[in-house]
């Protein structure tokens, strides 16, 4: 009997693992995808048409499989699940599709939300990693697709079938918001929370462009003074002090600035000082997990004793 029980528990664990790591995730891409080849052949060429390019990706055996998708199918899949809140996620620099897919799964498993991510290619025309300026040009060229991504979020909101809808931009992904601020973006409130996480954009004058964005109920800026990667970005490039490191310039009264330094601190591996919303940090620090769970689920932050919230 004991062996049967152990075998049953093991089988349940395996099924849970397979569901978690073989799940379909929807995404929008600014890169051309050649369906005559496998998903590893995603182009580094940007589609500037502004047409919504919606896909779904899943892991089958040892490879990712990408298929074209549509809004109706995505909404039906979400309705059939137990998930109520939806997070639109924009990744940072240097990520392959598999990296973003795995992070999306991690976010879903950690915070019990559905994730739709925006994928943008970071390599240049020769297939080599781009430098900071080239990466920013990639982002600027991807803005038409990013607008379609925000439009997709608006359709999810209008469907009325879900709970809260929020957007989290991580690291250099926040440059999308800076460029997007110059667009006409005030016609419809789309997001409950707009979350700028470890933002790899200049702290100086951030309030000027952030004040122009009007597609959300609340804005949160989360930063860590010990973010080693952002300090390195400032040291090795012409970038100035980054918003994800500190907020020293004019702060907007309508924005919640959350200092994560007392909890995240400096630690190894150094990537934890930058990507502290998934992985080891929220797994090991209940208060970090609590604050991100609240934000990602589209709720107001409330009071946390270990956080400095400037308003």
The domain locations on the chain are 79-302
Tokens of 125: 């025309």
Among the residue ranges 59-73, 143-157, 169-183, 292-306, the one predicted with the least confidence is 292-306
Is residue 299 predicted with pLDDT exceeding 60?
A: yes
Please say if the pLDDT value at position 37 is more than 80: no
pLDDT computed for residue 187 by the predictor: 60
- Write out pLDDT tens, residues 41-80: 788 999 999 999 999 999 998 889 999 999 999 999 988 8
Burial of 265 per CB tally in 10 Å (0-12, 13-18, 19+): middle
Average the pLDDT over each of 77-91, 97-111, 157-171, 194-208 and give the range with the smallest value. Answer: 77-91
SS (H, E, C) 161-192: CCCCEEEEEEHHHHHHHHHHCCCCCCCCCCEE
d(CA 137, CA 130): 10
- Count CA atoms within 13 Å of residue 183 on its CB side: 17
What's residue 79's pLDDT?
84
Q: Measured between alpha carbons, how far is 68 from 56 in angstroms, rounded to an integer? A: 6
Asked if 194 and 215 touch (Cβ cutoff 8 Å), the reply is yes
Q: What digits encode the pLDDT tens for the residues 234-260?
A: 888 888 999 999 987 677 888 999 999
- Whole-number average pLDDT of the chain: 88
The helix/strand count (H/E) of the chain reads as: 11, 10
Greater model confidence, 39 or 15: 39
For residue 80 the two structure tokens come to: 């059939």
User: pTM of this prediction?
Assistant: 0.90
Residue the block writes with tokens 């390195």: 232
Which of 106 and 125 is assigned the larger pLDDT?
106
According to DSSP, residue 283 is labeled H
Q: What is the rounded CA–CA span in Å between residue 120 and residue 118?
A: 7
Choice among 21-25, 58-62, 272-276 with the minimum mean pLDDT: 21-25
For domain 79-302, say whether CATH 3.40.50 is its number. yes
């Amino acid at each position: 009997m004991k062996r049967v029980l152990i075998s049953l528990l093991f089988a349940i664990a395996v099924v849970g693992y397979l569901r978690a790591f073989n799940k379909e995730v929807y995404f929008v891409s600014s890169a051309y995808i050649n369906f005559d080849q496998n998903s590893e052949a995603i182009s580094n060429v940007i589609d500037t048409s502004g047409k919504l390019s919606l896909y779904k990706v899943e892991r089958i055996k040892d490879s990712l499989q990408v298929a074209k998708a549509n809004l109706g199918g995505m909404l039906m899949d979400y309705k059939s699940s137990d998930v109520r809140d939806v997070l639109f996620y924009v990744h940072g620099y240097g990520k392959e599709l598999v990296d973003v897919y795995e992070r999306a799964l991690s976010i879903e498993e950690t915070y019990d939300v559905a994730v739709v991510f925006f994928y943008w290619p970071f390599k240049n025309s020769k297939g080599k990693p781009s430098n900071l300026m080239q990466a920013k040009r990639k982002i600027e060229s991807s803005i038409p697709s990013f607008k379609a991504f925000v439009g997709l979020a608006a359709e999810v909101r209008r469907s009325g079938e879900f709970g809260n809808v929020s957007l989290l931009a991580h690291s250099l992904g926040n440059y999308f918001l800076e460029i997007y601020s110059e667009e006409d973006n005030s016609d419809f409130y789309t997001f409950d929370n707009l979350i700028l996480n470890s933002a790899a954009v200049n702290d100086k004058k951030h309030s000027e462009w952030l004040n122009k964005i009007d597609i959300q109920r609340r804005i949160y800026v989360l930063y860590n003074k010990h973010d080693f990667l952002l300090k390195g970005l400032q040291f090795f490039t012409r970038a100035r002090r980054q918003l994800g490191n500190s907020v020293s310039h004019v702060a907007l009264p309508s924005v919640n600035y959350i200092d994560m330094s007392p909890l995240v601190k400096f630690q190894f591996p150094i990537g934890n000082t930058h990507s502290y919303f998934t992985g080891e940090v929220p797994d090991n620090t209940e208060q970090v997990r609590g604050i991100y769970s609240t934000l990602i689920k589209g709720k107001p932050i409330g009071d946390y004793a270990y956080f400095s919230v400037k308003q």
